[in-house]
Amino acid sequence: MVKITPVLMSGGAGTRLWPLSRQARPKQFHALGGARTLIQDTALRFATEAFAAPMVIGNAAHADLTRAQLAEVGVAPAALILEPEGRHTAAAAVVSALAAEQAGAPLVLLLSADARIADPAALRAAIAQGAPAAEAGALVIFGVTPTAPETGYGYIRAEAGDGPVSKVAAFVEKPDLATARAYLADPAYSWNAGIFLFQPDAFLAEAERTAPDLVAAARAAFAQAARDGDTLRLGEAFRAVPALPVDVAVFERTDRAVVVAADVGWSDVGAYDALWAEGDKTAAGDVLQGPVIAADTANNLAISDGLTVVLAGVEDLAVIVENGVVLVTRRDAPGAVRAAVEAVRKAGREDLL
C-alpha cells in the first residue's frame, strides 16, 4: 500500500482573529473552543495506517511551539521545514515537494494546519478516492461541499462526468452573494479549501512549466538549507520567492488538475463569526468563554483570558480580551478586524501584533 505523506502548512498569520491570533502564536496553535489546538487536530486526522508521519512547513519562529504541541498528542514529524519568512502557499508547496521527493515519498497531501474538519473519516475516504488519480500523475484538489452561499471563499467548477473524480473546469474567485447562491444550488461547484494531493515529481514538473521563476527561487532556498536531524532551515533565498497562492501559480494553469468531492464539514475558522457559529450558545445565542457576564444580550461572542467582561443590552458583537488587548467589533465584520490590525501597525504598536 502506498503511504501518503501529509504536509501541514503552518505559516498562516490568522489576522482576522487578532488579538487571539498573533505573530508569536497564530491561530493554528490555539484550540479555539475545541479540546486540542488546530495543528494538533490536523496532525491526528492522519494518524492511520494509510499515512506516513507528517512533514510540517512553517515560520522558523514557531519551531519550538510546533514541536511541543505535536509532542503533546504523540506526533513526531518526519521533517520540520522552517521558513525565514512566509512567502504564501506556492513557495511552501514547491519546497515541500522537493523535500518529499528527496525523502522518497510517493504521494503528498498538502493542506493548511489551521482548518477544522467535522468528519475526518469522510476526508480520509475522499483522499482514498483521489489517490489513484494522483498516482497516475494528476494534480488532485478536494472540493468541499458548500453549506452556505459564502462570498469569502473561492470555488471550483467540475466538468460533468461519472465517478468521484472530475476534471477541473474552472477556478472561480470570491463571488457576490447572488452568484454564491447560484453556486450553492449547482452540484458542479464546491469550495476551494486548499487541500491537494499529488506525486512530488508530477507537481514539480507542472510548477516548472507554469511558474519557472518561483520554482527556481524555491530550489535555491532548498539547496541553501541547513539540516539538523529532521529540521531543515531554508536559506535566505527563500525571501526572494514570489508570494503566490499555489492555486494561482500552478493549479489554475495546468490541464492536469482534477477535483474530488469532499463532504467533510470543513471550516477555516478564519473569523469571529465562524467561532460564534461553532460555539456552545446560551439561550440568548451568546457564546461566552472565560469570565463573562451577560444581561439582556443576544448573539454575541465574548472571550476573555482573565479580565471579567460584562455585556449589557448589546447584540452581534465580538468582544475579545487577550494578553492585555481588548477588541470590540461587530461579530460579522472580518474586514473591521483587518482594519484594526492596520491601525495598530500605523500607531507603531507592532508589539501588540
Residue ranges and CATH numbers for the domains of the chain are 4-267 (3.90.550.10), 272-352 (no CATH)
**What pLDDT, on a 0 to 100 scale, did the predictor assign at position 343?**
95
Of 108, 112, 116, 102, the closest CA to residue 41 belongs to 116
**What pLDDT, on a 0 to 100 scale, did the predictor assign at position 272?**
95
* Residue 111 main-chain phi, psi, to 5 deg: -160, 160
Residue with cell 503566490: 244
Question: What phi-psi label fits residue 140: left (phi over 0), alpha (psi between -120 and 50 degrees) or beta?
Answer: beta
Of 71, 96, 74, 90, the closest CA to residue 8 belongs to 96
The CA-based dihedral angle spanning residues 72, 74, 77, 80, taken in that order and rounded to the nearest 10 degrees:
10
**What pLDDT, on a 0 to 100 scale, did the predictor assign at position 187?**
93
pLDDT for 162 beyond 90? no
pLDDT for 161 beyond 80? no
Q: Please provide the average confidence, as pLDDT, over all residues in the chain.
A: 95
pLDDT for 5 beyond 90? yes
pTM: 0.93
**What pLDDT, on a 0 to 100 scale, did the predictor assign at position 270?**
87
What digits encode the pLDDT tens for the residues 28-81? 999 998 889 999 999 999 999 999 999 999 999 999 999 999 999 999 999 999
